[in-house]
Amino acid sequence: MPAIDERLAELGIKLPVAKKPAFEYVAVAVHGDLAYVSGQLPWLDAERVIEGKVGDGCSLEKAQEAARLCTIYALSALKAQLGNLDAVEQVLKVTGFVASAPGFNAQPKVIDAASKLLGEIFGNKGRHARSAVGVAELPRGAAVEIEFIVALRH
């Protein structure tokens, strides 16, 4: 079993089947030694996502759960493209979008849940540059959306 799959099992994480894009884009684009993972939503099941505006109807804790789910779906998409997460040399950049109520400004605390999870899975190779951005709306009413850029082993 690949090392990252073993680490996921140790953490009690089972990657779901990667979601197919619903619109005109690819889930992962690979160019050279970089993989760009399209924004992933916090799916609860085949139809529902964690919804709402953080700070009004969606708590910080629920938004952090959403960020973890986005990360898990992003890893699932990446594994579907690469065949194996051990191909990841380094997580380079994470961009997190948080549907935010007026006055909510703790977007970094929300996206910290994704950053922490990547560190737990990949160790130092999971440490990354990051943006945490508050937005008015996200697709399907989602509370959080996350995208990655990762470097691949040569």
From residue 150, give the alpha-carbon distance in Å to each of 39, 98, 112, 143. 13, 21, 18, 24
Answer left, alpha or beta for residue 55, where phi above 0 means left and psi between -120 and 50 means alpha: left
* Dihedral sign of CA atoms 4, 6, 11, 16 in order: positive
**pLDDT tens column, 68-92:** 999 999 999 999 999 999 999 999 9
Query: What confidence tens digit (pLDDT) does each residue in 120-146 have?
Result: 999 999 999 999 999 999 999 999 999
Is residue 1 scored above 70 in pLDDT?
no
CA distance 96 to 67: 8
Which tokens go with 74? 């992003």
Extents of the domains making up the chain:
3-14+26-152
Closest CA to 14 of 84, 85, 72: 72
Q: Averaged over 23-51, what is the pLDDT?
A: 96
Architecture of domain 3-14+26-152: 2-Layer Sandwich (3.30)
Give, in order, the Cα–Cα distances in Å from 106 to each of 39, 53, 129: 20, 12, 18
**Mean pLDDT in the chain?**
96
Angle between helices 107-122 and 60-82 (to 10 degrees): 40
Which of 127, 67, 50, 66 lies closest to 92, judged by CA? 127
Q: What are phi and psi of 109, to 5 degrees?
A: -65, -35
Task: Show the DSSP H helices in the chain as ranges.
Answer: 3-10, 60-82, 107-122
